[in-house]
Structure 1
Amino acid sequence: MALKNRNTGPSHHIVIVGGGAGGLELATRLGDTLGKHNKAIVTLVDKSPTHLWKPLLHEVAAGSMDLDEHELEYMAQARWHHFRFRLGAMEGLNRAMREIYLAPSYDDDGELLIPRRTMRYDTLVMALGSVSNDFGVPGVAEHCISLDTQAEAATFHRRLINACIRAQVQETNLRQGQLNVAIIGAGATGVELAAELHNTTRELAAYGLDRIEPDRDVKLSIIEAAPRVLPALPEGLSLEVQRQLTKLNISLELGERVTKVDDKGVYTQSGRLVPAELVVWAAGIKAPDFLKNIDGLETNNANQLVVRSTLQTTRDDNIFAMGDCAACPLGEGQTGLVPPRAQAAHQQASMLIKSINNRMKGKALPEYKYRDFGSLVNLGKYTTVGNLMGGITGGSLFIQGTFAGIMYRSLYKMHLYALHGLSKVVLDTIARMITRRTEPHVKLH
């Protein structure tokens, strides 16, 4: 059954599928400019009712951030910023009819909540982000947790707490690997999670789990096929992060390709077994599987939609793709694809505001060129390291410590500013600074 448009004003329907950083920023800005003034209908579709900035999921997993205090309700954002929100997971596309198909939704008891639906569009923006890519490694689906969603991050934290509680009351000696955590993949998510978990396990012991001695009972391991951590980032930054992780006694298994995961731990190509009962897969990403050649659109081996520099898909000008689900060229004079990073999604969302306005007016569309402003890696309370590039410094500048930490936190504030405006961000920041003084620094349940 087609979703009926009850608005008798604007006829142009902009549908954005995916409420990640880029998709939600785009829906908010288009709602404020086009929806508010009745120039278009803007609809955001997502399979989750809430949003959290994805780079923070490792903090939720470690318990250093309370998900309930930071997630954003899509329905509330839609009301405040003049767009519509529809709960559902996209499962199909009909380009000829300009329709998308949404899978049925079920409640926590398995009862049908929302039936399968059809939604028409005039302009479609795919902002579906990415999911973990296990590369077909046996045992990953059964024994690993990925940090793709808020629910997965919360699940890992709950399992970590439960493992610590069992160990606290256990009469016999701990099993091999019982409190060991193995993180497969030494990208930003992997190294940041390891540092946060190093602090979390010590905080938990301080809050009453006193039979657990973290230095004796807990072992954190990062397993990476490349010869260094953060292989996609500059070598100097990588080596400094590696040095900091070594200081924290985090085991770095570098140059080790994972071949299997089971209930005993992680096996590598060299024949090693890394014992662990908690395993996180953070080794690769891909676009959702249903996008592969969806209704004839061009995709690559990672299921990403191939787009031109205007962010329009190569085979349909009515469909745009942005963020991690788009295979976008870097821009004039550069080879390769735009990396799957939050700054790229933010830049593309900003450009698509102008693109969609121009499209509705019949004007030429701007072309996207990726600008790399650098990288920041936050190792929790211990330190932050990074490099600033491009328009900020005119070159590359290595930074570390307090200034780097401020820069890292400002990235999240910039995202909140794009969603809420300056006054709300300032007031919210002050409120959190006050309440933080009266709360434990890790989530204890």
Structure 2
Amino acid sequence: MQSEIVIVGGGAGGLELACKLGRRLGPSKVALVDSRLYHIWKPSLHEVAAGTLDIHQEGLSYQMLGHDNGFTFILGAMTGLDSAGKRITVGPVSGGGEEVLPERHIGYGALVLAVGSTSNYFGVPGAREHTISLNATEDAERFRLKLLRLLASADEHLEEGRKSGLDVVIIGGGATGVELAAELREASGVYAVYGFSHLQARRDVHITLLEGAPRILAPLPERVSNAALRLLKKRAIQVVTDCRVTSIEKDKIHDGKGNTYPADLCVWAAGIRAPEFLGTLGLPTNRGGQVEVDGHLRVKGVPDVYALGDCAACVDGNGKPVPPRAQAAHQQADYLRTTFVRRAQGKAAQEAPYRYRDYGSLVSLGHTTTVGSLMGALRGASWFVEGFVARMMYLSLHLLHHQAVLGSVRTAVLAVARFLIRRTTPLVKLH
């Protein structure tokens, strides 16, 4: 098989690029490769883990999106790259113990790597074996099912008069860790009203957030960090900063100060790195495994190969490293869309390099509260936002992503449908 533009990775940036190019150039020109059949917006995985979002209602089929947006979807994981022959290898796909699709070779005119990121365990003993990281939908579902089992067990023990509780420890006080802690506190109270009648969320579900830096949400303005800390403590969530985790066992965590934290369920949200397979492709990578690209998002020294999003080590036209954020992947997808449309039209490549624009950050603390900062047009200017307005802005980010891949009308219909479904289903997923 041959395609003019092959995009590997159907995350926020890769999928948006495939949809926008497919609508412009058509399925014979654009192909998207991903190892999964459906897409979910990664910033919502903490809601899937807490059970407040049903992945089977939220996921968008790549095959449907390909049909509607004019790109070809190829199921499978990229396993190899022949940059001289300009083709990639896509591994076989199995199901039910049988091979469904064989190994394939896909030729390309231009290749875009948009494979996102995975957890960085920093060599901490036991971290990989005894924690769950929210890298993908299956991780979030595994966490949710384990949480449900532990809640049922704790409720049964309480009914029998035995002292019982559930200890959840989240390692990492970035956006993922903070959002998960708040969502879990909210969800644990909801679970209690759906049959766990002996369970009192604040008394019996103990949530601890461990952060190595002096404050949570360290990359964000201090006012945002302080507001998030206040709201977490108000929800009876223990926050420990300046905490360097040294080892993790099945039921406890140890830090560098000699403290031990009991843990029935532990989440690792302390850092990210690029997927390890990128280091096997013969491409230039940095210490974090990211592929090194120039200001035009071209992989250094490898013709016709590009990278965007978390897997790309990019220094933009302003001379600053681009942070691994969804808004960066969205902007880079728009930049490459222009690059490839000009290429298809026989025009010269863009002269101006990609420039990252920071529009601020928003952090969700449950279904009613959001905090964050918005960046203004003036250099260095920012505005603190909190409450209902911030919450509406946070929700709009998800809708804007859907608009990019579904269009305005279908996004509006989907939003209304989900609003109505939530009125006829449990507030948390109970199975």
TM interval, short-chain normalised: over 0.9
Instruction: Give the whole-Å Cα distance in 2 for the aligned partners of 1:359 and 1:204.
Output: 54
Question: Which moves more between the two structures, 216-225 or 393-402?
Answer: 393-402
Is contact 1:308-1:314 (8 Å) kept? yes
Could you list the runs of 4 or more consecutive aligned residues of structure 1 that deviate by over 4 angstroms after TM superposition?
none
In structure 1, give the amino acid aligned to 2:38. T
Q: Secondary structure at the match of 2:183?
A: helix
Instruction: Give the whole-Å Cα distance in 1 for the aligned partners of 2:324 and 2:8.
Output: 17
Question: Which moves more between the two structures, 389-398 or 225-234?
Answer: 389-398
Post-superposition Cα deviations, 1:12-64, rounded to whole Å, max 9, x if no partner, equal 6210000000100100011100016xxx5211000111100000000000011
Post-superposition Cα deviations, 1:241-296, rounded to whole Å, max 9, x if no partner, equal 1111111110111101111111122111111111011000000001100112622x
Matching residue within 124, 144, 151 for 2:111: 124
1:80 aligns with 68
Is contact 1:322-1:349 (8 Å) kept? yes
Count how many residue pairs are aligned between Structure 1 and Structure 2. 427
Post-superposition Cα deviations, 1:209-262, rounded to whole Å, max 9, x if no partner, equal 011122221100011110100111111111111111111110111101111111
Aligned-pair CA distance for 1:362: 4.6
Aligned-pair CA distance for 1:393: 10
Say if 1:110 and 1:439 are closer, same or farther in 2 by CA, change over 3 A: same
Is contact 2:368-2:388 (8 Å) kept? no
Is contact 1:287-1:325 (8 Å) kept? yes
Say if 1:263 and 1:236 are closer, same or farther in 2 by CA, change over 3 A: same
1:338 aligns with 322
Instruction: Give the whole-Å Cα distance in 2 for the aligned partners of 1:253 and 1:114.
Output: 48
Aligned-pair CA distance for 1:395: 2.5
2:292 aligns with 306
Uncovered stretches (5+) of structure 1, i.e. residues with no partner:
6-11
In structure 2, give the amino acid aligned to 1:18. G
Is the aligned partner of 1:62 residue 2:53? no
Aligned-pair CA distance for 1:173: 2.9
Instruction: Give the whole-Å Cα distance in 2 for the aligned partners of 1:124 and 1:264.
Output: 44
1:97 aligns with 85
Matching residue within 257, 277, 295 for 1:290: 277
Say if 1:20 and 1:187 are closer, same or farther in 2 by CA, change over 3 A: same
Instruction: Give the whole-Å Cα distance in 1 for the aligned partners of 2:74 and 2:280.
Output: 25
Aligned-pair CA distance for 1:104: 1.9
Post-superposition Cα deviations, 1:368-391, rounded to whole Å, max 9, x if no partner, equal 000000000110134111111034
Is the aligned partner of 1:203 residue 2:197? no
Say if 1:364 and 1:211 are closer, same or farther in 2 by CA, change over 3 A: same
Question: Which moves more between the two structures, 44-53 or 355-364?
Answer: 355-364
Post-superposition Cα deviations, 1:415-439, rounded to whole Å, max 9, x if no partner, equal 0000111111111112222222222
Is the aligned partner of 1:26 residue 2:17? yes
Question: Which moves more between the two structures, 160-169 or 279-288?
Answer: 160-169
Is the aligned partner of 1:173 residue 2:173? no
1:8 aligns with none
Question: Which moves more between the two structures, 124-133 or 435-444?
Answer: 435-444
Matching residue within 17, 31, 36 for 1:48: 36
2:337 aligns with 353
Uncovered stretches (5+) of structure 2, i.e. residues with no partner:
none
Instruction: Give the whole-Å Cα distance in 1 for the aligned partners of 2:367 and 2:416.
Output: 20
Instruction: Give the whole-Å Cα distance in 2 for the aligned partners of 1:357 and 1:430.
Output: 34
1:156 aligns with 143
Is contact 1:372-1:390 (8 Å) kept? no
Aligned-pair CA distance for 1:394: 8.6
Q: When the two structures are superposed, what TM-score results if normalisation uses the length of structure 1?
A: 0.93
Say if 1:423 and 1:394 are closer, same or farther in 2 by CA, change over 3 A: farther
Is the aligned partner of 1:214 residue 2:240? no
In structure 1, give the amino acid aligned to 2:162. N
In structure 2, give the amino acid aligned to 1:85. F
Matching residue within 384, 390, 409 for 2:376: 390
In structure 1, give the amino acid aligned to 2:36. S
Instruction: Give the whole-Å Cα distance in 2 for the aligned partners of 1:54 and 1:95.
Output: 30
Question: Which moves more between the two structures, 362-371 or 63-72?
Answer: 362-371
Matching residue within 5, 15, 40 for 2:6: 15
In structure 2, give the amino acid aligned to 1:357. V
Instruction: Give the whole-Å Cα distance in 1 for the aligned partners of 2:163 and 2:106.
Output: 54
Aligned-pair CA distance for 1:358: 2.1
Q: Secondary structure at the match of 1:292?
A: helix
Q: Secondary structure at the match of 2:284?
A: coil
Q: Secondary structure at the match of 1:29?
A: helix
1:367 aligns with 353
Is contact 2:368-2:391 (8 Å) kept? no
2:99 aligns with 112
Is contact 2:79-2:277 (8 Å) kept? yes
1:234 aligns with 221
C-alpha RMSD over aligned residues = 1.6
Q: Secondary structure at the match of 1:145?
A: coil
Q: Secondary structure at the match of 2:304?
A: strand
Post-superposition Cα deviations, 1:72-119, rounded to whole Å, max 9, x if no partner, equal 000111111111111111111111111111222221x33222222211
Matching residue within 360, 385, 400 for 1:399: 385
Instruction: Give the whole-Å Cα distance in 2 for the aligned partners of 1:438 and 1:96.
Output: 55
In structure 2, give the amino acid aligned to 1:74. Y
Say if 1:362 and 1:393 are closer, same or farther in 2 by CA, change over 3 A: closer
Q: Secondary structure at the match of 1:298?
A: coil
The percentage of counterpart residues that share the same residue type is 45
1:248 aligns with 235
Q: Secondary structure at the match of 1:381?
A: coil
Is contact 1:373-1:391 (8 Å) kept? no
How do residues 400-419 of structure 1 correspond to structure 2 at under 5 angstroms? 400-419=386-405
